[in-house]
Amino acid sequence: MVKTPKTFRYFKKITRSAYKRIKLFVKHRLGWLGVPIIVPYHGYGNGKQLLVSGYVTEDKGIAKPEERHTRWENLLAMIKRYSSDEIPGASVDIRVNGARQEVTTGDTGLFKVRFDSVSAASGTTSEWIPYVATLHSDITGEDREVSTRGEILIPGSNSEFGVISDVDDTILVSHATQTLRKLWLMLWRNSRTRKPFPGVAAFYRALHVGRDGKQSNPFFYVSSSEWNLYDLLEDFCIHNRFPKGVFLLREMKVNVLKFWKSGGGDHQHKYRKIKTLFDTYPKMPFILIGDNGQHDPEIYSQIAEEYPNRILAIYIRVVREKGKYRRLGEIKERLELLGVPMILARDTVEAAHHAIKLNLIAADSEAAVALDAQKDLKDET
C-alpha cells in the first residue's frame, strides 16, 4: 500500500480546518448557526493532577430520550448528533478549586486541559469535584458568556481497584462487527430502548462496592465510539443503573454521511487512553473488561506486558466464536505466564462467579447478577 506523503496530509488537514472555519462564518452571517454551547465531559484526577475535557458545538436541539419516542424521532436525533457543527477556535475558561486555565478548542471542537499541583486531595470514598467551563468568545468573533458545570472523579483511598470497561458489545448490545444490525440499532433505538447485556449492570455495581460492599471503586468506560455519542452513552448508563464513571471516547472524525462507521478504526486510541489511566494511578490495580468482537484481548494483553502486576483479572465477553478460539487461546496462555487470569465468559454470571473466587466482589452478589441476567434480549435485533 502506497503511503500518503506527509506534506499532502498536512495540506489536507490545513484545508479541512480552513473549510470548517469559513463554513461556520458563513452560517453565522446568514443566521443559520445554532447557539454555541459547552458540553462538559467527566474529568478525572489523582489529587495532584486533574484532566478535564469537553467540546463546544452549536446546540443540537436533541430532545431528551423517552421509551415512547418513535423510530423517526430516534433517527432525527442521531442525524443531529452527526450533522451539528462543532466550533473550533473557541476560547474556553476552566476553573476548578481556585485554579484557572484558558484553552482553545481544536478543529473538532474539543478542548483538553491538565491542571498540575491543584489541591484536590481524595478522601476515604471516591469524590466528584465540580469545575466550571465558560465560553468567552467563539470563532465568529462575538463575545459570549456561556457557562456550564462539569465533574472530575477523584478515587478514594478505600478504592481497592479500578475498572476499565469497553462499551460496544461489552455492556451495550451493538453488533459492532455486523454493519447492518449495528446501523439498525443506531438509527431506530435511543438510550432508553437500547439494551444492556443481561446481568452486566448488576455485576458492575458489585465491582463498584467491592468484596465488602463498602468500597467506591472507580469506573472508566473506554470506547471506539465518537464523542458525538456521549449523551446517548451517558444516559444509557444512568437509565440502566451502571456505576457513574468517566467516558473516554474517540475524537470526532465521522460526519453525518459516514456515521455508520462509528466505532471502527484501529482502536489504538483505546490503548493510549488505558496507558494514561495506568500512569495517572500508578499504585492502583485494575480489572479490564471487554469482548472479542474487535481487539480488546490484544490491547489488554499489551497493557499487561507493559504494566506487570497491575491487572487483577481480564474478563472477555465471547460475542464471536468462529475462528477466534486459537487466537484467544494464545493470548490467554501468554497472560497466564504473566500471572493475569483472562476469563472468556459467555454470560455475566460466569464472570461474577470468577470474581467471587478472587474475592473481588461479595459472595452474595452472585444472586443479584443471576437475577439481572434473566433479562430478555430477543427484541434486540
Please measure the distance between the N-terminal and C-terminal CA atoms of the chain and give it in whole angstroms.
Answer: 37
Transcribe 267-310 into DSSP letters.
-HHHHHHHHHHHHHSTT--EEEEEETTTTHHHHHHHHHHHSTT-
Sign of CA dihedral 351, 355, 360, 366: positive
The two counts, helices (H) then strands (E), for the chain are: 10, 14
pLDDT in tens, 330-370: 899 999 999 999 999 888 999 999 999 999 999 999 999 99
Contact between 138 and 89 under an 8 Å Cβ cutoff? The reply is yes
CA distances for 5 relative to 2, 14, 107, 378, angstroms: 9, 15, 21, 49
For 66-76, what is the mean pLDDT?
64
Residue with the bigger pLDDT between 81 and 166: it is 166
pTM over cut 0.75:
yes
| CA 90/CA 136 separation, integer angstroms | 8
What pLDDT does 333 receive? 92
pLDDT single digits (tens) 19-31: 566 655 665 555 5
Q: How many CA atoms lie within 13 A of 202 on its CB side?
A: 22
Mind listing the pLDDT tens digit for each residue in 94-121?
999 889 999 998 888 899 999 987 766 6
pLDDT-derived band at 59 (thresholds 50, 70, 90) equals confident
* pLDDT computed for residue 222 by the predictor: 95
Average pLDDT of the segment spanning 228-251: 90
Residues 329, 64: Cα–Cα separation, whole Å? 44
User: Strand 91-96 and strand 49-58: pairing?
Assistant: unpaired
